[in-house]
C-alpha cells in the first residue's frame, strides 16, 4: 500500500518533474516536499489541497481513503460514516479489533472501549 508520500513522489515522477520544479509550482520549499515524499512529515491542509489540485486527484486519494485518483467519497456518506455512533454491542458485532495483528477477544474489546471512555472523561 502506498503512503501519501509515495503517491506524491509517483505523481511527480509521472509528470517528469524534479522536487524543485514541483515545490516551486505549489509554493513550498524543496526540503518540505522531500520530507513529505520520504514520509518524515505530512503536508498541512493547504499543501495537500494544492497537491491534489495540481495533479488533478482527490485529497481522498492522497490520504489513502480511495485507490481511485479521481474518486471522491460522497459528502453525505462521508458525514454519516465520520459521525456514526454505535453502542458497545453494535461495535463488537460489526467490527473486529486487532492489536499487534491478533484479534481481541470480546472481553478485551469491551475493556478497550471502556479505557477510551475513561481516558476521554479524564481529559475533558
Q: Write the pLDDT tens digit of every residue in 36-47.
A: 999 999 999 999
Domain count, the chain: 2
Residue at a domain's end among 73, 96, 112: 73
On whether both 41 and 13 belong to a single domain, the answer is yes
Indicate the burial class of 36 (C-beta count within 10 angstroms; 0-12, 13-18, 19 or more). Answer: buried
- Residues 2-49 have pLDDT tens digits of 899 999 999 999 999 999 999 999 999 999 999 999 999 999 999 999
Kindly give the residue spans of alpha helices, DSSP state H, lying in 1-124.
4-14, 19-26, 30-37, 45-55, 59-63, 75-82, 88-94, 106-122
- Residues 48-101 have pLDDT tens digits of 999 999 998 988 889 888 877 875 556 666 566 566 677 778 777 777 888 888
| CA atoms of 119 and 117, how far apart (whole Å) | 5
On whether both 93 and 34 belong to a single domain, the answer is no
Q: Whole-model pTM?
A: 0.56
Q: Provide the domain limits for residue 91.
A: 85-122
Amino acid at each position: 500500500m502506498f503512503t501519501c508520500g509515495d503517491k506524491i513522489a509517483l505523481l511527480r515522477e509521472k509528470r517528469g518533474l524534479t522536487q524543485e520544479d514541483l515545490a516551486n509550482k505549489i509554493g513550498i520549499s524543496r526540503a518540505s516536499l522531500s520530507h513529505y515524499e520520504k514520509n518524515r512529515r505530512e503536508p498541512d491542509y493547504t499543501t495537500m489541497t494544492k497537491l491534489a489540485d495540481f495533479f488533478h486527484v482527490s485529497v481522498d486519494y492522497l490520504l489513502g481513503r480511495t485507490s481511485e485518483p479521481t474518486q471522491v467519497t460522497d459528502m453525505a456518506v462521508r458525514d454519516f460514516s465520520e459521525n456514526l455512533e454505535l453502542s458497545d454491542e453494535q461495535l463488537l458485532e460489526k467490527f473486529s479489533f486487532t492489536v499487534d495483528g491478533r484479534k481481541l477477544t470480546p472481553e478485551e474489546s469491551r475493556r478497550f472501549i471502556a479505557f477510551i471512555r475513561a481516558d476521554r472523561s479524564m481529559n475533558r
